[in-house]
């Protein structure tokens, strides 16, 4: 199980509001069929393999460019644990506050 957290930031749009670009990226993630969670600062997604995760992120990155952004900055964090299957929710349950 691979859990990735990523943020796609459109630049050069001429606007301070980026919601239409972010919505387009999120549409790609939703259509991928993978389990995901949108947060105020990025998206967290579970996939079976790293290549699946990178494929979806690349498609979302490209969709923002096609939407009209002249530049896109994408940041990716990867948790590729292979000894135990973990989900996003399982990881959160481990936190004791």
Dist. CA 67–CA 24, nearest whole Å: 8
> Tokens in use for 50?
């790293």
Query: Per DSSP, what are the bridge partners of residue 38?
Result: 43
- At 73-94, the pLDDT tens digits run 999 999 999 898 888 898 888 8
Mean pLDDT of the chain: 93
pLDDT of residue 93: 87
Give CA separation, 6 vs 25, 42, 53, 83, 84, in Å: 11, 6, 10, 23, 22
Note the CATH number of domain 2-93: 3.30.70.930
Q: What is the mean pLDDT of residues 34-51?
A: 96
For the chain, the domains span 2-93
DSSP 3-state assignment of 54?
helix
């Amino acid at each position: 199980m691979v859990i990735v957290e990523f943020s796609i930031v459109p630049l050069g749009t001429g606007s301070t509001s980026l919601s239409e670009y972010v919505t387009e990226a999120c549409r790609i993630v939703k259509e991928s069929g993978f389990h995901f969670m949108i947060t105020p600062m990025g998206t967290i997604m579970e996939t079976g393999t790293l290549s699946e995760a990178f494929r979806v992120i690349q498609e979302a990155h490209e969709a923002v460019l096609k939407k009209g952004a002249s530049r896109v900055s994408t940041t990716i964090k990867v948790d590729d644990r292979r000894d135990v299957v973990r989900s996003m929710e399982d990881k959160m349950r481990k936190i004791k506050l």
